[in-house]
Amino acid sequence: MSQDLTLHQRRRPPTAEEIEGIPWWAPLQPHERERALAALLVGDALPGDYVCRVGRPVTYWFGVVEGLLKMSNDNAEGSTMTFAGLPPGGWFGEGTVVKREPYRYNVQALRKSVVAGLHIDTFHWLLDHSIAFNRFVMHQLNERLGQFISAREIDRITNPDVRVARSLAALFHPVLYPGVGDVLRITQQELAYLVGLSRQRVNEALAALDAQGAIRVEYGGLRVLDLEALRSRDFQVKKA
């Protein structure tokens, strides 16, 4: 894969395995799948590649097949606010696609990733013709609203351990990110980028969460053992 090509230029048809991993694919009727398949492309993103940029017109509805993306924006003070980490199985930006408005956020690859895109015209055709697709998008919009409210709350949390706990809970969202399962493949540096803390401080928080039994740090990733505890607003990390 040439690094001289843009993500747009690296587009290709999806493989059968990649298609089967799309969470809204299975409920579609055969003729709806045929229409969607003709408008589906995937791109191989390199670390640092932008999938979406603030102010650019929307042309595709995007989803993560493999890898990890970050959705963020810069505020008036010049600092970056992270709205969401986007792990495998996550489709995002449906509100922007529905309204056909320019992007109000940046989405960037944190590692080598595979990103799928459904053309905006086919997205709207499916909204007009598929009850199952409508239901999926409706659930996405509802869950996304809750996610963004949570992101604002996390941004105000001063306790680093609780901040990491709540951020991890968001990445294990079963509706928005069905491809994650029980184990999230993520490095401590990637998590630090998403949480807005140093790698060393994230490492300390993960060790505390592991000792408390909320997660288990495994080779190449994290396993959540008590998701409800991580989500709880009353959750506090007990110090030894």
- Please indicate, yes or no, whether residues 209 and 107 belong to a single structural domain of this protein: no
Domain finish residue from 119, 138, 154: 154
Domain finish residue from 154, 183, 200: 154
Other C-beta atoms closer than 10 Å to the C-beta of 159 total: 13
Task: List the one residue out of 94, 93, 7 whose CA is nearest residue 48.
Answer: 7
- pLDDT of 199: 92
- Please indicate, yes or no, whether residues 149 and 168 belong to a single structural domain of this protein: no
Domain finish residue from 135, 154, 173: 154
- Please indicate, yes or no, whether residues 149 and 177 belong to a single structural domain of this protein: no
Look up the pTM and report it: 0.83
- pLDDT of 15: 95
For every residue of 81-97, DSSP letters joined together read EEEEEE-TT-EE-HHHH
The CATH number of the domain holding residue 101 is 2.60.120.10
Contact status, residue 215 vs residue 223, Cβ threshold 8 Å: yes
What residues make up the domain containing 131? 8-154
- Please indicate, yes or no, whether residues 113 and 27 belong to a single structural domain of this protein: yes
The CATH number of the domain holding residue 199 is 1.10.10.10
* Domain tally, the chain: 2
pLDDT tens, residue order, the chain (240 aa): 555 667 777 889 999 999 999 999 999 999 999 999 999 999 999 999 999 999 999 999 999 999 999 998 876 566 677 788 899 999 999 999 999 999 999 999 999 999 999 999 999 999 999 999 999 999 999 888 877 777 677 767 778 888 898 888 888 888 889 888 888 889 889 999 888 889 999 999 999 999 989 999 988 889 999 988 888 756 666 655
- pLDDT of 4: 61
- pLDDT of 74: 74
- pLDDT of 76: 59
Judge whether 3 lies within some domain. no
- Please indicate, yes or no, whether residues 111 and 29 belong to a single structural domain of this protein: yes
